[in-house]
Amino acid sequence: MTAPHDRPTVPELLEAVREFVEAGFAESAEARVRFHARVAANVLCIVERELALGAEQQRAHEARLRALGFRDDAALAAAIKSRSVDDRYDEIARAVRDSIHDKLLVANPGYIEI
Amino acid sequence: MNVHQLSGGTSRETWSFDAGGRGLILQCQRQSDDAVRLGLDSQTALLRAVRAASVPVPEVVASGEGDPDVGDWMIVERLDGETIPRKILRDDTFAAVRPRLTADVATALARIHSIPLGTVASLERRDEVAAYRRILDDVGEPHPAFELAFRWLERNRPPPSEPAVVHGDFRMGNFIVSAGGLRAVLDWELAHIGDPLEDLGWICVKSWRFGGTLPVGGFGKREELHADYERASGRTIDPDAARWWEVFGTLRWGVICIMQAMRHLSGAERSVELAAIGRRVAEVEHDVMAYLP
């Protein structure tokens, strides 16, 4: 809970909306509405996971980039593009894979196993 | 007449109707909305050319250009069959068809790639890698994984194949499949002159497997696709070069996902579906890194 606000907390509010979207449109006759409701419910799942994991992931990501000597993803992307880090492929690829892993933990954890 | 609209937008519309005892599809387009997509007039010419080369496509029944009300238009026959990939890959109806689909798509591709380059004058010769590089630069969002992929492609580019007419979006979702096999190849608006391996790589991109385990559209093996294609085309495929185009195809799909999310973010087309696609980019980054060392 974040003071001064009352319950439901932000995650609890999101969960309530997601449950409404999931249940409210499940019976809808129109396939297009059902499809978009499923997409919307999935988006809310992403938001819930990012609320839970985002702060820690942001710290880890910044530490990863700092260890490589970059202030953000834009600087890393620019360095790769300019060919100036060709000789550091292994450590950079490892960091990039770690970032993707974290992104998938939020966006679609099921994808990591595939 | 049994008229109903299948899709519509500001510049393009598709209608289904019955006339003269058969089902027909009307497509109209007021103007080509971007430089990459072929205008309807060119698509009509291309459909006639590939049909003459025995590529399975709907017959063009009539066409016209510059109508004051609808713009360019074409009427094609409406074909029976299934386009939804998950049904083609899973429904019992198609169990007997699936084993022959690889040979069917290989033959169709060989025929497309055999069309003389001058047949449709408006087909553009373009370097797809440079085109998607430019798009990613224009978007301006940092994607280190895609930069690593572009760098790998740059360092490992195979010598170009003999150029050919390529479909440009040859994949599950753009096929009509019936009990007899591949019934039609649809959606020719990304056709251009390029490396024929582009089409062979694109159909193996993971997102076109729709949950299937086999690399070719979820239903076939690369070796089969290549062997059938070599037999039908007389061309020789270097598996490493084909793989290079598969890596490019994966990267291309990633850039397309970014563009889709941007359509929502820019306000061009507000949609929760397009917004959600932005968070699928991580899946494609994961896929493309799986090819890299």
The answer to whether the Cβ–Cβ distance between B283 and A73 falls below 8 Å is no
Looking at the domain assignment, is residue A5 inside a domain?
A: no
Q: Cβ A39–B150 below 8 Å, yes or no?
A: no
pLDDT of residue B10: 64
Distance from CA of A2 to the nearest CA of B (A): 27
Query: What is the reported pLDDT for B215?
Result: 98
pLDDT digits (tens, 9 = 90+) for A54-67: 999 999 999 999 99
Band (A28; pLDDT cuts 50, 70, 90): confident
CA B281 vs CA B89, B145, B192, B273, B275: distances in Å: 24, 10, 26, 13, 11
| pLDDT at residue B70, rounded to an integer | 85
Q: Which residues of B touch A77 (CB under 8 A)?
A: 142-144, 147
Domain assignment present for A83 = yes
Alpha carbons within 13 A on the beta-carbon side of B252: 22
Q: What is the largest CA-CA distance in chain A?
A: 57
Confidence band of A114 (pLDDT split at 50, 70, 90): low
Q: Of B285, B283, B260, B279, whose CA–CA distance to A46 is shortest? A: B279
Is the Cβ–Cβ distance between B278 and B141 less than 8 Å?
no
Can you tell me whether residue A1 is helix, strand or coil?
A: coil
Phi, psi dihedral angles at B230 (to 5 degrees) = -60, -40
CA B4 to CA B23: how far, in whole Å? 12
Looking at the structure of chain A, the number of domains it has is: 1
Q: What domain range is A105 assigned to?
A: 10-113
- Establish if A42 belongs to a structural domain: yes
In whole angstroms, give the CA distance from residue A15 to residue A19. 6
Q: Long-range contact list for A74-79, CB < 8 A, 24+ apart?
A: A74/B142, A76/B142, A76/B144, A76/B147, A77/B142, A77/B143, A77/B144, A77/B147, A78/B142
Q: Is the pLDDT of residue A52 over 70?
A: yes
- The answer to the question of residue A2 being in a domain is no
Enclosing H/E stretch for B29: strand B22-29
Maximum Cα interatomic distance, chain B, rounded to a whole number of Å: 59
Verify whether the Cβ–Cβ distance A100 to B145 is below 8 Å: yes
Among chain A residues, the shortest Cα distance to B279 is held by: A107
pLDDT tens over chain B, length 293 residues: 889 888 876 678 899 999 989 999 999 987 655 667 888 889 999 999 999 999 999 999 999 988 888 889 999 999 999 999 999 999 999 999 999 999 999 999 999 999 999 898 889 998 899 999 999 999 999 999 999 999 999 999 999 999 999 999 999 999 999 999 999 999 999 999 999 999 999 999 999 999 999 999 999 999 999 999 999 999 999 999 999 999 999 999 999 999 999 999 999 889 999 999 999 999 999 999 999 99
Q: Are B25 and B186 in contact (CB under 8 A)?
A: no
- Using a CB-CB cut-off of 8 Å, the residues of chain B touching A18 are none
Q: Is B148's CB within 8 Å of A93's CB?
A: yes
> Do the domain assignments include residue A33?
yes
What φ, ψ does residue B265 adopt, rounded to 5°?
-65, -30
pLDDT, position B32? 57
- The shortest CB-CB distance from B292 to any of A40, A93, A107 is to A93
In chain B the domains, ranked by start, together with CATH numbers, are 4-77 (3.30.200), 85-291 (3.90.1200.10)
Give me the residue label for tokens 């895609």: B146
State the DSSP code for B27: E
Touching check for B285 and chain A: CB below 8 Å? yes
The answer to whether residue A107 sits within a structural domain is: yes
- CB-nearest partner of A42 from B150, B276, B283: B276
CA nearest A110 in B: which residue? Answer: B283
Q: Look at B221 and A1; give whichever has higher pLDDT.
A: B221
Grouping H, G, I as helix, E, B as strand and the rest as coil, residue A48 is helix
* DSSP-assigned letter for residue B216: B
- Any bridge partners for residue B24, and if so which? B17, B77
- Establish if A68 belongs to a structural domain: yes
What tokens does B34 get? 């971007």
Whether A28 is covered by a domain: the verdict is: yes
A97, B280: Cβ pair inside 8 Å?
Answer: no
